[in-house]
């Protein structure tokens, strides 16, 4: 089972949802960087479960114990290892899932690949729980990037078929600061209650919903990235698609394929010594390389597959068709807690790019 992503920096994740602990190791970080651990804790709280009805009832503090790589809150250059101990597992809720495969979940392909030895409790290593250490790593990456003038922010763009406003494609740091003050960030506050109502209705019907997160990276200098095999799009996507439940990634204007070339092209102009574009339909990336405008992309997240509503499935022990209603504690919508995860993955990808 692969658990390492390696390029200029190294990322290794470990643990399982109902195991003793989960964690991450970050290798090849720059030394001598002061880290604000209070800010890291705030990022962890944004993803932590059990805070309200928009998330699972599972209670986890998500407090990170740093084992190496940090001394007096300063990076030492050694691999930075963070561990989060699990404390609120209800493993008995998953006893049937060794035999009955959850529709839409990893159970069946994992059963085949790992010959039935994979840990199904809470999804095991496939669980969104593993994104907690990713958020920790992303919080570190964000602080390193901020020293280079690079900032990252995201908001809930949609829940099911209800949409928030899109980013202004030429957005400024003020928008990201506005979103940073919100636990579940949206641009138009009136949309938030509509989002909550949609999720509530699905939850009461023993169902779930998905949605989209829109993320922006500002302050990225032009000229970063490579054409073809290591474009910024492919570099980012390799990490974004590693987030459980992510099914799509789109850069810039997602309607660009419907435009004429004269409409889609981002025309250049000088603003004093800076080169800018009159629009940002390409999301700050052309030819796979940053052009100095904000990098903007949208991530599509599917509905939570574990739902109480009874569905058709198979019993791999009896080799017969059956039905299954998944009981336990699950998010009725993953999107609310996913914004900070998307930001974290984007931060790690950008740190790797500029390292």
Radius of gyration of the chain (CA): 21
Helix (H) or strand (E) holding 156: strand 151-159
Q: How far apart are CA 101 and CA 99, in angstroms?
A: 6
Structure tokens at 239: 């990490």
User: Was 300 annotated as part of a binding site?
Assistant: no
CB within 8 Å of 349: residues ≥ 6 apart: 235, 236, 238, 239, 240
Q: DSSP secondary-structure letter at 218?
A: E
Q: Is 303 annotated as a binding residue?
A: yes
287: annotated binding-site residue? yes
CB burial string 167-205: b at 16+ within 10 A, e below: bebbbeeebbeebeeeebbbbeeebbebbbebbeebbee
Give the burial string for 94-122 (b: 16+ CB within 10 Å, else e): beebbbbbbbbbbbeebbeeeeeebbbbb
How far apart CA 93 and CA 112 sit, in angstroms, is: 22
User: Annotation-wise, does 158 bind a ligand?
Assistant: no
Flag whether 19 is marked binding: no
302 annotated ligand binder: yes
* Residues 88 and 94: beta-carbon distance below 8 Å: no
Determine whether the annotation assigns residue 125 to a binding site.
yes
Q: Is 306 annotated as a binding residue?
A: yes
Asked if residue 329 belongs to a known ligand binding site, the reply is yes
User: Is 304 one of the annotated binding-site residues?
Assistant: yes
Q: Which run of H or of E encompasses 344?
A: helix 335-354
Residue 53 labelled as part of a binding site: yes
**What is the bridge-based pairing of β-strands 80-85 and 64-68?**
antiparallel
Report the distance separating Cα 347 and Cα 355, nearest Å.
12
The answer to whether residues 284 and 294 touch, using CB atoms and an 8 Å cutoff, is yes
H/E element, 66: strand 64-68
User: CA 84 to CA 64: how far, in whole Å?
Assistant: 5
The verdict on whether residue 305 carries a ligand-binding annotation is yes
Ramachandran angles phi, psi of 226, nearest 5°: -135, 155
Q: Binding site: which residues?
A: 47, 53, 125-127, 287, 302-306, 329
Annotated binding site for NADP(+): 47, 53
Annotated binding site for FMN: 125-127, 287, 302-306, 329
């Amino acid at each position: 089972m692969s658990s390492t992503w390696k390029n200029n920096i190294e990322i290794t994740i470990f643990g399982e949802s109902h195991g003793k602990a989960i964690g991450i190791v970050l290798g090849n970080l720059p030394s001598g960087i002061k880290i604000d651990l209070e800010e890291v804790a705030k990022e962890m709280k944004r993803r932590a479960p059990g805070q309200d009805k928009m998330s699972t009832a599972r209670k986890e503090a998500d407090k990170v114990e740093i084992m190496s790589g940090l001394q007096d809150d300063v990076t030492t250059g050694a691999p930075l290892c963070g561990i989060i101990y699990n404390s609120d597992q209800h493993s008995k809720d998953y006893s049937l899932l060794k035999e009955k495969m959850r529709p839409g979940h990893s159970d069946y392909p994992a059963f085949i690949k790992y010959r039935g030895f994979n840990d199904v409790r809470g999804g095991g290593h496939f669980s969104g729980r593993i994104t907690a250490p990713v958020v920790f790593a992303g919080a570190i990456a964000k602080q390193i990037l901020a020293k280079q003038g690079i900032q990252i922010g995201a908001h809930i763009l949609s829940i099911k078929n209800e949409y928030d406003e899109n980013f202004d494609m030429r957005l400024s740091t003020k928008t990201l600061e506005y979103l940073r003050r919100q636990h579940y960030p949206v641009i138009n506050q009136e949309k938030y209650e509509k989002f909550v109502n949609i999720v509530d209705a699905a939850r009461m019907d023993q169902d779930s919903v998905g949605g989209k997160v829109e993320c922006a990276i500002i302050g990225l200098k032009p000229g970063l990235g490579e054409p073809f095999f290591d474009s910024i799009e492919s570099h980012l996507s390799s990490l974004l698609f590693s987030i459980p439940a992510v099914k799509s990634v789109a850069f810039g204007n997602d309607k660009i394929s419907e435009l004429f070339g004269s409409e889609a092209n981002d025309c250049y102009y000088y603003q004093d010594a800076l080169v800018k574009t009159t629009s940002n339909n390409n999301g700050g990336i052309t030819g796979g390389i940053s052009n100095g405008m904000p990098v903007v992309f949208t991530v599509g997240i599917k509905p939570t597959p574990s739902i109480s509503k009874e569905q058709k499935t198979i019993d791999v022990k009896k080799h017969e068709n059956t039905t299954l209603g998944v009981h336990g504690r699950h998010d009725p919508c993953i999107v609310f807690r996913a914004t900070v995860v998307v930001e974290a993955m984007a931060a790690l990808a950008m740190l790797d790019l500029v390292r």
